[in-house]
Amino acid sequence: MTIGLNDYLVLSTLLFAIGFFGVLLRKNTLVIYMCLELMLVATTLALVAFSRFNGTLDGNVFVFFILTVAAAEVAVGLAIIVALFRRRQTVQVDELNALKN
Amino acid sequence: MADILFYLFAAIALGTALLVVVSKNAVNSAMFFLLSLMGTAALFVLLDAFLLAVLLVLVYAGAVVALFLFIIMLLDMQGGERKPFKRTTMVASVIAAILLGVGVLGFIQRSQLSHAPAGSDVVAVGATLKGYAAQLFTTYLLPVQIVGFLLLIAMLGVIVLSKRFEGLEDVK
């Protein structure tokens, strides 16, 4: 049996679900952000697999752009987390409740 | 052979991804995230996307994980270790993740993807650099320009976010 498109998609789904699980479960903003990146990587895996098994380059070029955007996103997101920490002295989401009530 | 490698790297990627979620220390999470990215990069190599594998290692493992570790060090997490999970949060997140996974897997199973050609029947167009260059500088020329501006804007945004402005002390 050879590995086909289906196997890669199943793997990508599982990786995405694990990332989602982490986003829901963890309270530390930095770890939540890491899990978000994990979800992004899972989707790129699906795109590369589609591209490979269809014999086109478009999926790969999309992944190229996704990598660029992800790098920009991480820089801005971490800057926001640092700014938040400077103001509130915490990165735990259950202590960041200024909008509650 | 390629099958064994697929299962090996898939196991690495999934196992370390799970360890990112459950590990007690944020630094350990970042290290497992690095391993998970390595597993994914190896899978990219199995998919003949060599350029993307190298880019994933350079951009993610090189820059992003280093940035994460730097911020963890900078914020100096008090206590270090996380508190144990609440039972309700745990149960709810497990159910939600399983629902998401089962939903997408059901979608994959119901589609006609099993009739897709095998990898050996299709030319691996992503394997050569020439194809990327031709696409990026013809079909995707405008997106490339826009992404360049996006990086510039991100840089400006980070500078503005991290700068302290005199006389602009914000409301508590």
Interface of A with B in 64-93 (CB under 8 A): 64-65, 67-76, 78-83, 85, 87, 91
Torsion of CA B102, B21, B58, A52, to 10 degrees: -10
B3 Cβ under 8 Å from any chain A Cβ: yes
- Can you name the residues that pair with A28 across neighbouring β-strands? A92
Question: CB–CB of A71/B64 below 8 Å?
Answer: yes
- Can you name the residues that pair with A92 across neighbouring β-strands? A28
Interface of A with B in 3-62 (CB under 8 A): 3-11, 13-22, 24-28, 30-31, 33-35, 37-38, 41, 44-45, 48-49, 51-58, 60-61
* Residue among A2, A36, A74, A87 with most chain B CBs within 10 A, to mutate: A74
Q: Does A74 reside within a domain? A: yes
**In total, how many domains does chain A have?**
1
Q: Does A64 reside within a domain? A: yes
The CATH number of residue A30's host domain is 1.10.287.3510
Low-confidence ranges of chain B (pLDDT < 50): 172
The answer, yes or no, to whether ipTM is higher than 0.90 is yes
- Tell me, which fold does domain B2-123 have in CATH? Four Helix Bundle (Hemerythrin (Met), subunit A) (1.20.120)
In chain A, what residues touch B55 (CB-CB under 8 Å)? 64, 67
Question: CB–CB of B71/B106 below 8 Å?
Answer: no
Write down the pLDDT at residue B119: 66
Measured over the CA atoms of residue B135, residue B138, residue B141 and residue B143, the dihedral's sign is negative
Give A4's pLDDT tier (boundaries 50, 70, 90). Answer: confident
- List the single residue in A with minimal CA-CA distance to B74: A82
> Mind listing the pLDDT tens digit for each residue in A17-60?
999 999 999 988 999 999 999 999 999 999 999 998 888 889 99
Tokens of B94: 């497990």
Q: Does A46 reside within a domain? A: yes
CA distance B167 to chain A (A): 16
Q: Does A27 reside within a domain? A: yes
CA distance A101 to chain B (A): 16
* Whole-angstrom distance, CA of residue A30 vs CA of residue B138: 38
Interface of B with A in 36-75 (CB under 8 A): 36-37, 40, 43-44, 46-49, 51-52, 55-56, 59-60, 63-64, 67-68, 71-72, 74-75
Q: Does A100 reside within a domain? A: no
Taking 80 as the threshold, does the pLDDT of residue A95 lie above it? yes
Write down the pLDDT at residue B114: 63
In chain A, what residues touch B129 (CB-CB under 8 Å)? none
b (16+ CB within 10 A) / e for A33-61: bbbbbbbbbbbbbbbbbbbbbeebbebbb
Q: Identify the domain containing residue A44 by its residue range.
A: 5-95
B13 Cβ under 8 Å from any chain A Cβ: yes
Q: Does A48 reside within a domain? A: yes
DSSP assignment of B7-51 equals HHHHHHHHHHHHHHHH-SSHHHHHHHHHHHHHHHHHHHHHTT-HH
* Whole-angstrom distance, CA of residue B162 vs CA of residue B168: 13
Locate tokens 């979800």: which residue?
A39
DSSP assignment of B59-123 equals IIIIIIHHHHHHHHHHHT-SSSSPPPPPHHHHHHHHHHHHHHHHHHHHHHHHSSGGGSPPGGGS-
> Mind listing the pLDDT tens digit for each residue in A70-81?
999 999 999 999
Could you tell me which residues come within 8 angstroms of residue B58 by beta carbon, excluding any fewer than 6 positions away? none
Q: Does A72 reside within a domain? A: yes
